[in-house]
Structure 1
Amino acid sequence: MTTTSSSPTASSLEKPTYEKQEFKDEKVERRHTTINPAVENVNALLVNPLSGLTHDELDAQGREFAKHHDLGHLEEEFAKGAIIAQDTTVFENLPMLSIEDKNTLRMEITHKWRQPKDLYYLVIACSMAAAVQGMDESVINGANLFFPKQFGIPQDSSRNQWLLGVVNSAPYICCAFLGCWLSVPLNNAFGRRGTIFITALISFLACFWQGFTNSWPHLFAARFVLGLGIGPKSSTVPVYAAECAPAAIRGALVMMWQMWTAFGIMLGYAADLALFKVPDTHNIKGLNWRLMLASAGLPAIIVCAQVYFCPESPRWLMSKGRYPDAFRSLRRLRGHDLLAARDLFYIHTLLEAEIEISRSRNLVKEMITVGRNRRAAIASFIVMFMQQFCGVNIIAYYSSTIFQQSGFSQVQSLLSSFGFGCGTQARVALVSVGIYLFGVCYSPGEGPVPFTYSAEAFPLYIRAIGMSFATATTWFFNAVISLTFPAMLGAFTPQGAFGWYAGWNIIGFFLILLFVPETKALSLEELDQVFSVPTRKHATYQFRALWINLRRWILRSKVPRPEPLYNFEGLEKTYAPAAGGH
């Protein structure tokens, strides 16, 4: 197709400039920030590869597309779909559409949650996969009360504390250095459904294996293999949901990954509590903790049985040249031939553009060397780093141990981890309340925001590379904290260990304030401007704005509001962030 088979060179475009305002001593100083024109052109191509074409050209391309890909019996639908795909907001004025067509398109807007049952079945499968993830992570919490002593590593020495950390961190070490990097080859070879099936099967087998271990190195090996299930699944499921969901509800469905992961963590605590009093048999010692670790395999095997009844990702099918299969998949997900034809044609144009871009660019190099991209990478690194170093997973993995060291019995520790604990002493009550309040603050902030922020911050043409980098970052630091916390707990006591992560939250506040620009509700062009502002200038402005806002809202001084840092060209709105991030 002529619109996507080639990418114009940078020299063919007039170099654009964006203006930003810097306010000093009530005088406005105009400066210019230039955007790499080649980068901007790539973004424009991927935002809408159909822009600039006439309806006649789109009609012809839609018909040719249908004939070329063995979908000729749907030629009329693809002709209309190609025109709608260029601009989905103008369908009311298109004379080639029937009343039924327009009603179908209106329903997308007025009843966006009225979707085919196959889409909701897919949502359930993805939610269950996320719950597997959370349960894989949290069942170790209760087991930590039992297996260290049984395996000869009681937490009475620095060496044994490090060994416990090694066992706990094994899945995340695997994720950071192996599991996440297997996502691309697994997806290329087996598709989204196949990758989810394989990783869920690995999770099931590894959980089952954990229950039969007889030494800490054996348990480490089983948990390391568990990382082969956790890593690729964490990368694949959100992508699968995004590729299958309609645009109007895509963000909500992708965000469900974090919510259902949290639900899985709760299930892990519930399983620990339910299995706590399971007695040993004459030939099985530690049956309770073995069943705790094995229990996470139950939802995993449900996912294995469920996922192949879902439609495969249409985008993946198209990348393999299986266009008729891709149409059938989209037909199941959209419920109407016209909607399926529109989306199939548009996905095809994006794939063609991405293939052309990948041929001519070193995307990894451009993520580092292009200033706009590098600042997005730094910001994503910070929010992903703080997602772990805020201390959330020391609670997910070690809260029962922490509660026990704070004065709880074993069963009280599990009850407190689950959320039903009540402190019988003031000090213990404060520990419980502090952990619960931490969870309340984490859930709307550092929990879901880092993944959403990273997806927004990177330009479209390097988004896949950027998200791989961001995902590997969070798993690496997950491994770091789960490895080091037992030794830290022994050296610092619970109060000192929590104080360590409290200090990191203070550091994180300033890192986010100074180096993480806002991305919410900004267009691609606005994001290009935001991330093209030099880091020093952004940090200086944010620090000044923080001081002004502290004086205004805390000290109640009458000072003028901070002037906006950005003046978005051609738009009436201005944006004046005061704290740098979401």
Structure 2
Amino acid sequence: MAHSPDLKHPKDEFLSHVEDASPNISRNVNAKIWNPLMGISKDNLRSQVNAFCREYGFQDKQDVFFRGALAAQNPVDYEDIPELTDDDKYWLRREVTNRWHLPKALYYTIALCSLGSAIQGWDNTGANGANLSFPQEFGIENNGWLVGVINSGPTLFGLLSAWAADPVNNLLGRRGTVFATGLFCIFPVLAQAFTQNWWGLMICRLFMGLGMGIKISTIPVFSAEVAPASIRGGLVTSFQLWVSFGMFVGYCVNLIFYRVGKLAWRFQLASAFAPAIPVVVFVWFCPESPRWLMKKQRYLESFQSFCRLRNTEMQSARDLYYAHCQVMEERDAFAGVSFWHRAWELFSVPRLRRAAVASGWIVISQQFSGINIMAFYSSTIFVEAGYSTLSSLLASMGFGLVLFVFAFPAVYTMDTFGRRNLLLTTFPNMAWCLLAAGLCFLMSTENSARIPCIAFFVYLFTAFYGPGIGPLPSIYFAEAFPLSHRELGAGLTICINNAVGSALSLTFPSLLKGLGPTGAFGFYAGLNMLAFVVIFFIVPETMKRTLEELDYIFGVPTRRHVSYQVGTWLPWWIKKYIFFQRKAKLEPLYKLDGSDDTAGAQ
């Protein structure tokens, strides 16, 4: 990033006032969240802001940016800043009291881009219904592995395309990438209806994966970059909300075309193109990601984009200037320039490695939960339970409805209860639901309660999944990586997700045949508990922190994080919830240096 000679780094000014330097982003041993503007005098802050405005063409906005910098410097005590106008303070207060009151352009961007994710859910459930007919037409009904390969075609090709998210985003931007990948979600999806053999169908699904791998990496990142920190989790949850909606609609389409007969699968698979049409048409009316524009040194456009996404110019200037200061910190810590250098830094730089490990484990945990197996094979599972084909499709539609309805609570709980707490609460509950559903298969087929009990526990499992691990992966990997490595980190995470998802989709038909429903459900219950244990130790909380402040969250060494969970959090939890000691207090792990603000106990 270019700097003018007279633009002083905010941290340099701060170091002239205090003895302690800012924490190392890659090794934040003291778990401090650093505000690079803290401690700078007003006169020096004004001179820095003026230099910034001269360099990036904001000479007529110097007063606006200075007020924004003051608000960023004192996010809690802004009421006592005389330079801020009454209107500034009014809107800053509303960020707390009315945090969902934001411009229509923000909600339009989130909703339209997330609509593209409906294709993913719709295709999964289209394949669910198609599994009952296309294997018979192509004569592969006895080849479970081949059926599994066809079903997992999008994720198999997504293994390769996810890595292309970085160069494609760099070239086309967030909007252009959403548009380009949307085309892959129209033509290959429609082509499935006209295939005449199994390998033609698989080729279409592989090309779908070419677009889906990049799209799934980009949409959550786009959403996270335009959303304010206070409600970022709830807004990015819309990605999973639309996936769930797509799954529900897909189940409905399965029922609509059920009576077509052996050709039903063609309509069930091809209909998933519908959500992509409005996305590719209307995405150009969304503001481009202001952080991507910053990355490309297009600061004037970035400010214009922020102005469309925030309520006032002062808030837009605050977010732009604060992000700029933090990005300069990132630039000093992560020097990678080439694609391969930055890819290597994901594993060699501790701060980036911790983000990659945490994000990677969360997507693995989502696959371990068993939800995608339900999405692809719930109709098959219900047939195993004794349902007729029509009844199994109806039961699967109920599964989709529960998934959609219970995705809504996450919009609120993601930024109040917290990402980590939702995971730790829902995984054990999903585990016992799967175990109970599996044990119900041991009931006699003559027992009238057998089928309703299986359906009940599958639905209950889905209800716990909806507000927990369902929306978490797309939120977490979108916010965990710094701007310099965000596309690469997202691509790596999606690659891990597709690899594990493909492996589980490929093996489930054989697993179901070899272990039976009870053994298969018990196996996934065990995987849920494994996910719970690892999340407890290695996944940090990211709620209500700006994307740039998360550098310091992931800068905390894993050893320090594990030590806190075992030595501080667990004893507190036992005192409060086992021995009911109401006065038990939990010392937070993260603290915003220079203020009383904390980042939560996790």
Mean Cα displacement is larger for which, 365-374 or 52-61? 365-374
For residues 478-507 of structure 1, what are the alpha-carbon distances to aligned partners after superposition, in whole Å with 9 as ceiling and x for unaligned?
111111112222333333322322332344
Question: Are 1:167 and 2:147 an aligned pair?
Answer: no
Whether contact under 8 Å (2:150, 2:201) holds in the other structure is yes
Counterpart for residue 129 of structure 1: 116
CA drift of 1:440 comes to 1.7
CA drift of 1:243 comes to 1.4
36, 45, 54: which one pairs with 1:67?
A: 54
Counterpart for residue 67 of structure 2: 80
CA distance in 1, matches of 2:323, 2:586: 37
For residues 254-273 of structure 1, what are the alpha-carbon distances to aligned partners after superposition, in whole Å with 9 as ceiling and x for unaligned?
22222222222112111212
Distance 1:240 1:212, change over 3 A: same
Whether contact under 8 Å (1:3, 1:50) holds in the other structure is no
CA drift of 1:181 comes to 0.7
197, 213, 230: which one pairs with 1:215?
A: 197
- The amino acid that maps onto 1:103 is Y
CA distance in 1, matches of 2:567, 2:30: 30
Question: Are 1:408 and 2:431 an aligned pair?
Answer: no
Question: Are 1:40 and 2:28 an aligned pair?
Answer: yes
Question: Are 1:475 and 2:498 an aligned pair?
Answer: yes
Whether contact under 8 Å (2:330, 2:482) holds in the other structure is no
Counterpart for residue 433 of structure 2: none
- The amino acid that maps onto 2:115 is M
- The amino acid that maps onto 1:475 is N
CA distance in 1, matches of 2:396, 2:512: 17
Counterpart for residue 377 of structure 2: 398
Distance 1:128 1:342, change over 3 A: same
For residues 467-488 of structure 1, what are the alpha-carbon distances to aligned partners after superposition, in whole Å with 9 as ceiling and x for unaligned?
5443332222111111111222
CA drift of 1:460 comes to 8.9
CA drift of 1:297 comes to 0.5
Q: Which has the higher contact order (CA 8 A, sep 6+)?
A: 2
State how 1:194-213 maps to structure 2 within 5 Å.
Answer: 194-213=176-195
CA distance in 2, matches of 1:342, 1:514: 35
Structure 1, gaps ≥5 residues long:
17-34, 280-285
Distance 1:40 1:343, change over 3 A: same
For residues 392-421 of structure 1, what are the alpha-carbon distances to aligned partners after superposition, in whole Å with 9 as ceiling and x for unaligned?
111001111221232212111110001189
Whether contact under 8 Å (1:60, 1:79) holds in the other structure is no
28, 38, 50: which one pairs with 1:51?
A: 38
- The amino acid that maps onto 2:77 is V
Question: Are 1:292 and 2:268 an aligned pair?
Answer: yes
CA drift of 1:163 comes to 0.3
Whether contact under 8 Å (1:175, 1:472) holds in the other structure is yes
CA distance in 2, matches of 1:347, 1:560: 40
SS state of the match for residue 417, structure 1?
helix
Scaled by the length of structure 1, the TM-score of the pair is: 0.79
CA drift of 1:190 comes to 0.6
Counterpart for residue 352 of structure 1: 328
CA drift of 1:171 comes to 0.8
CA distance in 1, matches of 2:536, 2:170: 39
CA drift of 1:367 comes to 5.3
- The amino acid that maps onto 1:388 is Q
428, 440, 449: which one pairs with 2:451?
A: 428
CA distance in 2, matches of 1:162, 1:213: 20
CA distance in 2, matches of 1:375, 1:312: 29
For residues 43-88 of structure 1, what are the alpha-carbon distances to aligned partners after superposition, in whole Å with 9 as ceiling and x for unaligned?
97x8433333222222223233333323333233223223323233
Question: Are 1:532 and 2:559 an aligned pair?
Answer: yes
CA drift of 1:89 comes to 2.9
Whether contact under 8 Å (2:10, 2:36) holds in the other structure is no
Counterpart for residue 245 of structure 1: 227
SS state of the match for residue 115, structure 1?
coil
CA distance in 2, matches of 1:450, 1:121: 22
Counterpart for residue 209 of structure 2: 227
Question: Are 1:270 and 2:252 an aligned pair?
Answer: yes
Mean Cα displacement is larger for which, 490-499 or 404-413? 490-499
SS state of the match for residue 419, structure 1?
helix
Q: What is the number of equivalent residue pairs in this alignment? A: 540
CA distance in 2, matches of 1:509, 1:109: 32
- The amino acid that maps onto 1:90 is D
Whether contact under 8 Å (1:372, 1:531) holds in the other structure is no
- The amino acid that maps onto 1:97 is L
CA distance in 1, matches of 2:330, 2:77: 26
- The amino acid that maps onto 1:100 is D
SS state of the match for residue 83, structure 1?
helix
Distance 1:516 1:562, change over 3 A: farther
Mean Cα displacement is larger for which, 187-196 or 268-277? 268-277
Distance 1:520 1:58, change over 3 A: closer
Whether contact under 8 Å (2:569, 2:586) holds in the other structure is no
525, 530, 540: which one pairs with 1:502?
A: 525
The percent identity for this pair of structures is: 39
CA distance in 2, matches of 1:574, 1:343: 20
Structure 2, gaps ≥5 residues long:
402-444
Distance 1:460 1:40, change over 3 A: farther
CA drift of 1:188 comes to 0.5
Whether contact under 8 Å (1:545, 1:562) holds in the other structure is no
355, 361, 366: which one pairs with 1:387?
A: 366
CA drift of 1:126 comes to 2.8
CA distance in 2, matches of 1:371, 1:85: 28
The CA RMSD over aligned residues, in Å, is 4.2
SS state of the match for residue 359, structure 1?
coil
Mean Cα displacement is larger for which, 222-231 or 66-75? 66-75
Whether contact under 8 Å (1:141, 1:399) holds in the other structure is yes
CA drift of 1:122 comes to 1.2
CA drift of 1:90 comes to 3.2
- The amino acid that maps onto 1:254 is V
Question: Are 1:488 and 2:515 an aligned pair?
Answer: no
